[in-house]
């Protein structure tokens, strides 16, 4: 339900329980790499949100001297990473918390890691992948089924001299963090407000002000992104991509709102007392009862956000979400049908048996695009998306679509299985297709992607057939 764990990851205890203890361990265990006459310097990080979560993709070492390009390579530095759990009750998932990261590319750069003909910094690109957890600055608290940001410390040790004309750089140990960038996540602002006596945090992206009206895309996160960090809901998965140039281009600039639920969107009238978080996750069908304690608060947040941003086009407000957030998308579409121009529930977790015939009669009037994968075992499509879609079509829905993928595979071409075929993700992760605008359908003789379709929906015009 939106968890951010590696597909084949193991649960292993972290070797140390505090930053100081871990670094002490790292220093002693890897002392052979530290030169006797080392010089301490700083490093910066570059994080970006990938299909498999936020990843620290690059470290940038301050060389302290100006050198020319082509003076560093992948063997110039070794990069030791330490992922530090926030408490002894939340051990690191996916690795033992400490180890070396593979440097895949190295070059002279500016302070932000951009390649340069000459500069005072060395940028080291690091290996990442769906089954490599060392780049992940998150950890899943299994007690609450909630992701949380963790501290990631690096010790970058120079292995050979850097020579540039008469300048030589040697013996550097970069172990002092000097900030970093977070890609599209830096385009969002974390905010909060209290609605219906519930404090809710949320992420906000505001397009350039140009005097025109702009649509609003609302994205509701999965089960693992609840809590009190407004940015987590759009960073645990690749929700930040709604702010990408590609997706924004379809809308000529769109607001993006990422509300965060304090617990789970599924907590409702009866389900709130149905056991701890882990038991709820394991028994989704018993957990969800078709209600949510957060529905009124969420609607109040949305209306307040729209009121505070008067250039939002109220005819073009779109709502979507994955898994636990797909469940909430269905509830909002059901109970506030006339407010939204379209909905795009993804691997949605509202069981079809909880949807009444009168609900179907309302929902058939709302443009909707469902996305799911046949290999989803968390919310099996034959119990959730497929029968609901079929009922809507039988009821006469004219603008409802379904992208039902056979499985969920890597769309970048970068990650493959041992046999050379594309890497396959957990079947529940069909949100990957949405963030990369892959769902498509032939509409009126034209191949239309989900984002192209979404951008064309409006309350003040007849729905497209």
* pTM (two decimals): 0.90
In a domain, 194, yes or no: yes
- Model confidence at 195, in pLDDT bands (50, 70, 90)? very high
- Model confidence at 93, in pLDDT bands (50, 70, 90)? confident
Nearest in space to 247 (alpha carbons), one of 44, 439, 54:
439
- The answer to whether the beta carbons of residues 147 and 282 sit under 8 Å apart is no
pLDDT of 277 = 55
In a domain, 354, yes or no: yes
β partners of residue 126? 103
Domain limit, last residue, from 181, 213, 242: 181
- Does the pLDDT value for residue 443 go beyond 50? yes
One domain for residues 37 and 97: yes
Q: List the single range of 33-47, 375-389, 393-407 with lowest mean pLDDT.
A: 33-47
Torsion of CA 245, 249, 253, 256, to 10 degrees: -60
One domain for residues 122 and 236: no
Give 5-41 pLDDT, tens digit per residue.
Answer: 433 333 332 322 223 333 333 444 444 444 446 799 9
One domain for residues 78 and 220: no
In a domain, 13, yes or no: no
- Does the pLDDT value for residue 279 go beyond 80? no
pLDDT of 365 = 96
One domain for residues 169 and 272: no
One domain for residues 45 and 145: yes
Q: List the single range of 22-36, 59-73, 305-319 with lowest mean pLDDT.
A: 22-36
Give 138-182 pLDDT, tens digit per residue.
Answer: 999 888 888 999 999 999 999 999 999 999 999 999 999 999 999
In a domain, 3, yes or no: no
Domain limit, last residue, from 126, 149, 181: 181
Tell how far CA 395 is from the center of its chain: 35
Nearest in space to 60 (alpha carbons), one of 50, 72, 51, 52:
72
In a domain, 56, yes or no: yes
In a domain, 462, yes or no: no
In a domain, 88, yes or no: yes
One domain for residues 221 and 293: yes
One domain for residues 170 and 204: no
Which domain covers residue 230, as residue numbers?
185-455
One domain for residues 175 and 253: no
In terms of DSSP bridges, do strands 312-322 and 342-346 run parallel, antiparallel, or are they unpaired?
parallel
Look up residue 362 and give its DSSP letter.
H
pLDDT of 416 = 95
In terms of DSSP bridges, do strands 312-322 and 214-220 run parallel, antiparallel, or are they unpaired?
parallel
In terms of DSSP bridges, do strands 342-346 and 400-405 run parallel, antiparallel, or are they unpaired?
unpaired
Q: How many residues does the chain have?
A: 465
Domain limit, last residue, from 134, 156, 181: 181
In a domain, 464, yes or no: no
Give 103-119 pLDDT, tens digit per residue.
Answer: 999 999 999 999 999 99
Burial class, 263, CB count within 10 angstroms (exposed 0-12 / middle 13-18 / buried 19+): middle
Question: Averaged over 433-459, what is the pLDDT?
Answer: 97
Give 203-227 pLDDT, tens digit per residue.
Answer: 999 999 999 999 999 999 999 999 9
One domain for residues 49 and 160: yes
One domain for residues 208 and 81: no
pLDDT of 183 = 96
- Does the pLDDT value for residue 285 go beyond 70? no
Look up residue 208 and give its DSSP letter.
P
- The answer to whether the beta carbons of residues 443 and 453 sit under 8 Å apart is yes
One domain for residues 296 and 418: yes
The count of domains in the chain is 2
Which tokens in the block code for residue 258?
């990422």
- Does the pLDDT value for residue 343 go beyond 90? yes
Share of the chain above pLDDT 70, in %: 88
Which CATH number goes with the domain that contains 215? 3.40.50.1820
One domain for residues 225 and 293: yes
Based on DSSP, count helices (H) and strands (E) in the chain, helices before strands.
11, 24
Tally Cβ neighbours within 10 Å of residue 74.
12
Longest dimension (CA), the chain: 80
Nearest in space to 155 (alpha carbons), one of 81, 48, 213, 94:
81
Which CATH number goes with the domain that contains 23? 2.60.40.2180
Outline where 75-213 has alpha helix (H). Answer: none
């Amino acid at each position: 339900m939106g968890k951010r764990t590696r597909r084949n990851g193991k649960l292993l205890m972290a070797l140390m329980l505090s930053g100081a203890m871990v670094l002490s361990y790292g220093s002693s265990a890897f002392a052979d790499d530290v030169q006797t006459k080392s010089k301490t310097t700083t490093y910066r990080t570059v994080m970006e949100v990938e299909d498999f979560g936020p990843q620290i993709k690059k470290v940038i070492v301050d060389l302290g001297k100006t050198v020319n390009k082509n003076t560093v390579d992948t063997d110039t530095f070794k990069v030791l990473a330490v992922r530090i759990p926030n408490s002894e009750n939340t051990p690191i998932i996916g690795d033992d918390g400490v180890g070396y990261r593979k440097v895949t590319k190295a070059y002279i750069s500016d302070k932000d890691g951009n390649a340069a003909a000459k500069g005072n910094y060395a940028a080291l690109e690091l290996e990442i992948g769906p089954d490599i957890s060392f780049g992940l600055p998150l950890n899943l608290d299994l007690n609450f089924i909630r992701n949380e940001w963790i501290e990631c410390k690096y010790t970058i040790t120079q292995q050979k001299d850097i020579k540039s004309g008469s300048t030589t750089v040697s013996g550097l140990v970069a172990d002092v963090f000097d900030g970093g960038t977070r890609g599209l996540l830096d385009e969002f602002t974390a905010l909060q407000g209290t609605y219906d006596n519930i404090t809710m945090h949320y992420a906000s992206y505001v397009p350039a002000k140009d005097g025109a009206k702009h649509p609003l895309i609302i994205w509701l996160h999965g089960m693992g992104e609840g809590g009190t960090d407004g940015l987590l809901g759009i960073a645990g998965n690749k929700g930040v991509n709604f702010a990408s140039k590609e997706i924004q281009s379809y809308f000529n600039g769109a607001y993006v709102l990422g509300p965060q639920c304090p617990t789970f969107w599924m907590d409702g009238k009866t389900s709130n007392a149905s056991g701890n978080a882990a038991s709820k996750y394991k028994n989704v069908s018993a957990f969800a009862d078709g209600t949510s304690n957060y529905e009124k608060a969420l609607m109040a947040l949305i209306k307040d956000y729209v009121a505070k941003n008067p250039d939002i086009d109220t005819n073009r407000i779109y709502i979507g979400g994955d898994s636990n957030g797909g469940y909430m998308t269905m509830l909002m579409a059901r109970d506030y049908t006339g407010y939204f121009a379209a909905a795009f529930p993804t691997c949605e977790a509202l069981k079809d048996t909880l949807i009444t015939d009168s609900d179907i009669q309302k929902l058939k009037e709302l443009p909707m695009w469902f996305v799911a994968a046949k290999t989803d075992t968390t919310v099996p499509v034959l119990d959730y998306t497929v029968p609901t879609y079929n009922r809507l079509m039988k009821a006469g829905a004219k603008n409802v679509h379904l992208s039902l993928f056979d499985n969920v595979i890597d769309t970048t071409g970068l990650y493959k299985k041992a046999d050379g075929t594309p890497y396959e993700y957990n079947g529940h992760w069909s949100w990957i297709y949405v963030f990369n605008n892959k769902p498509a359908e032939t509409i009126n003789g034209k191949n239309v992607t989900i984002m192209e379709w979404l951008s064309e929906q409006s309350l003040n015009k007849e729905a497209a057939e």
